[in-house]
Structure 1
């Protein structure tokens, strides 16, 4: 027979208090992480742009006037600064962030489960089933109210951070294309698709960090190189490579991972209590409706 519902609810309230404390710790850790990541991202964007302009397409860069080169460099720095500011805004407006991502990113099964340390895929599903992953409702204004909402908050934040880097890469490549560095006849949708394909690999490449090198085949060979295949070397900021290149980002990330581990344990325990309460309520309902004939 299940424990008394009142006792189970007291246990859940204690877990909710622990979640509130952990939320404050996670928020502080992510603030440090996003600050370090923003600075490192600006630096890595410039280094990747240098590689593209001087090593991949030197003739195109030399064809620009001094004023055009300076304007390009200034615009790249501004893109990096905007991305760094956006990373911090994610923490200041969790609700707006969540709703924006709900419309701009299709949350499929894989994106619904954050990359947090767990023993197996089955255990991930026990923490946040696909049917329960949702944008927090209107009652979720400032802070998650329980461990499962905190897991959702952390998942959404991780997705948002990755999206900032993806958007920055695409904006930088479009700027390079408009400036005459990247191939002019490469359609914008194809450039975006190439960025997504490179990002999907999720692995560090053998070449310069945060630079993708792809062979692209098109149905309109006259628009590109003969044979319908062209080589594209462009910017692809990868979170793993940005973290690897900067000690401050790695240190901040390790702190986040330690708190993630605590969050996983807390989420599992809270879900067990939810299950236990449901069973206790079902038993009570059975007894209330039972009568001897």
Structure 2
């Protein structure tokens, strides 16, 4: 039985090494993906702003002076640049040892800027949580960028002053939950809502609202390189999931073998 436990431990050690290699592969894939995403986000933000100013609210845009238009365009470009920098800051690699794991001083470790904990990159569960967190942070950056761009366009006088923020937020959430590519220009919300008349509350009118809503799916769909890098991430995750299932299986086998050994060690006949 001792030899059986030793064999399981060797299998676990080999799996941990393989998972560490996957961690490095996954990190490199995300570094490349987020850099490409940053460029794509800047491009799609400008395109969405162009459609909104020229097709959504052309009259409002034409009311701006040449200087005001140039300032607006410059501010939009700056927002895109800042978002690209934030995306790259989501991920970084640090060298260090895993606490309580002797002999791992040279292990590669992956950390997210949104979290200060050192990850055990030989643990597939921790790696999966790190990856999920990275995806959530990416979505939050796009959500914030959309909001900031809409506020910028509102202050400039392009978007209506009374923008129904709760409605926009709900529509954006529903749009993001859908995997389908929306009709019309990409990364824009195009809503028709009913607004009560301020003088006569019983009266109402239909109003069309257009606003920026950057969607990761649409951004990836429009960029061949980004789509390719997303496929690479998915491929790496498939390998991680396979190793993760084997890792958990071996740990369960070890726990059973140790429990059986402990039972026999404490058993005695009356």
| TM-score scaled by length of structure 1 | 0.78
Aligned match of 2:96: none
Aligned match of 1:11: 11
Distance 1:195 1:222 in 2: 26
Aligned match of 2:104: none
Higher RCO, 1 vs 2 (CA within 8 Å, ≥6 residues apart):
1
Distance 2:247 2:62 in 1: 61
The structure having more radius of gyration, on CA atoms, is 2
Q: CA deviation at 1:191?
A: 3.5
Matched, 1:222 2:198: yes
Which runs of 5 or more residues in structure 2 are unaligned? 94-110
Query: Structure 1 64/268 Cα, relative in aligned 2: closer, same or farther at 3 Å?
Result: same
Aligned match of 2:175: 198
Query: Structure 1 2/246 Cα, relative in aligned 2: closer, same or farther at 3 Å?
Result: farther
* Deviations 1:38-65 (CA, angstroms, capped at 9, x unpaired): 1011001100110011001101111111
Residue 206 of structure 1 aligns to a residue whose secondary structure is coil
Distance 1:142 1:254 in 2: 24
Query: Structure 1 170/143 Cα, relative in aligned 2: closer, same or farther at 3 Å?
Result: farther
Write out the 4+ residue segments of structure 1 that deviate beyond 6 Å after TM superposition: none
Matched, 1:97 2:73: no
Aligned match of 1:184: 161
Number of aligned positions between the proteins:
251
* Deviations 1:21-41 (CA, angstroms, capped at 9, x unpaired): 111111111111111111011
Name whichever structure is richer in strand by fraction.
Answer: 2
Query: Structure 1 259/221 Cα, relative in aligned 2: closer, same or farther at 3 Å?
Result: farther
Aligned match of 1:263: 240
Distance 1:145 1:32 in 2: 22
Which runs of 5 or more residues in structure 1 are unaligned? 100-137
Residue 26 of structure 1 aligns to a residue whose secondary structure is helix
Matched, 1:287 2:264: yes
Residue 84 of structure 2 aligns to a residue whose secondary structure is helix
Distance 1:162 1:5 in 2: 44
Say if 2:34 and 2:88, in contact at 8 Å, map to a contact too.
Answer: yes
Q: CA deviation at 1:287?
A: 2.2
Q: How does 1:154-193 map to 2 (within 5 A)?
A: 154-193=131-170
Distance 1:221 1:288 in 2: 83
Q: CA deviation at 1:12?
A: 1.3
